[in-house]
Amino acid sequence: MLRHLLRKWNDLPVFNPSLWPQRELLAGAVGVTACLAFVAHRIFRFNRYTGDLPPFLKQFPASIDLRFTLVDWHWLMWLSVWIIETGILTGYMVAFTSRTGAKSVARGFMEVVFPMIIAGLPFLIVLTPMNFNRVWPPAIGALKDFLYNQTVSANFKAAFLLQSWEPVFFLFLTVIIVGGAINLLGLLSLRKAFTITAEARLLIRQGLFKYIRHPLYAGHFVMFAGYLLFHLYWYTVMLYLIFLGGQYLRARMEERKLMSVFSEYADYRRDTGMFVPKIGRKTSQLRE
């Protein structure tokens, strides 16, 4: 009975984009409008994302002093995050306006709505109050005390690096930047085949897709892991774990869709890793 009701719910016309008038135009317009709104917000609220101008810029051009302080480095790192994330949003707009038509259209709640829910889930993590100062300095202090009580010289070196929480702060920011860069590089390759719902447009095998099948998801895993470390609560950990599971289900749905359209996808899937590169020679090379 429950399965029958779920099937009827999944088959509702509202979850069948092929019935929507001007489906591609509508989806592109909504996507571009949403991304444009986010980009405009990031531009007009620039200081909210990066903080106030650092001392070295306030003095420019009257004097130039490139001996950056920690405040300067904080600002430069957050600026890097802002540039990459704004670049990703801009890339989405380009993708929405230049992608090819779908060869297999998404249909049903799981292929249409579920991907959108999962894609938006990690933004709930970012909206929570940042609690880095409350969580990590005490944890770093406890770890430093533990290492100082050890007799191995390597541990003393590690303890020296933990005299301040600043290295950890910059490490977490680096995680966000690296994840964002992976996502952006993947998006540059995916552009013409970009989709949020489970659809098949083109089979992309260049760029990062030469090594992994879902570089955008891999980048999101890394980027939002960095944000999680800045917003570490029990419920944000749960949100992140749900996000990981949801992205895995999305990837599986997309792969089934691609395999049904592109016969060569089976070989591509065998030769590449899902989220990390596959170690060893390619299957196609082994057959030669």
CATH value at residue 166:
1.20.120.1630
Model confidence band, residue 155 (pLDDT cutoffs 50, 70, 90) = low
Please give the backbone phi and psi of residue 149, each rounded to the nearest 5 degrees, phi first: -85, -5
For residue 257, pLDDT over 60 is answered with yes
Residue at 261 is within a domain:
yes
Model confidence band, residue 146 (pLDDT cutoffs 50, 70, 90) = confident
The pLDDT assigned to 172 comes to 94
The pLDDT assigned to 239 comes to 97
Residue at 7 is within a domain:
no
For 214-232, b/e burial (b = at least 16 CB within 10 A) is bbbbbbbbbbbbbbbbbbb
Model confidence band, residue 162 (pLDDT cutoffs 50, 70, 90) = low
The pLDDT assigned to 178 comes to 97
**CA nearest neighbour of 239 among 113, 88, 126:** 126
For residue 13, pLDDT over 50 is answered with yes
For residue 81, pLDDT over 70 is answered with yes
Residue at 288 is within a domain:
no
Residue at 83 is within a domain:
yes
The pLDDT assigned to 63 comes to 54
Q: For residue 281, what are the CA distances in angstroms to 209, 255, 287? A: 16, 22, 10
Residue at 239 is within a domain:
yes
Residue at 6 is within a domain:
no
Residue at 8 is within a domain:
no
Residue at 215 is within a domain:
yes
Burial label, 111 (beta-carbon count in 10 A; 0-12, 13-18, 19+): buried
- What's the domain count of the chain? 1
The total of other beta-carbon atoms located within 10 Å of residue 181's CB is: 17
- Integer-rounded Cα Rg, in Å, for the chain is 23
Per-residue pLDDT reduced to its tens digit, 178-233: 999 999 999 999 999 999 999 999 999 999 999 999 999 999 999 999 999 999 99
C-alpha–C-alpha distance, residues 273 and 62, integer Å? 52
The pLDDT assigned to 51 comes to 81
For residue 245, pLDDT over 90 is answered with yes
CA 14 from centre of chain: 28
Least-confidence region, from 90-94, 160-164, 195-199, 214-218:
160-164
Residue range of the domain that includes 174? 13-59+68-280
**CA nearest neighbour of 30 among 42, 17, 11:** 17
How does the average pLDDT of the chain come out, rounded?
A: 86
Q: What count of Cα atoms within 13 Å lies in the side-chain half-sphere of residue 104?
A: 17
CB 179 within 8 A of CB 126: no
For residue 152, pLDDT over 60 is answered with no
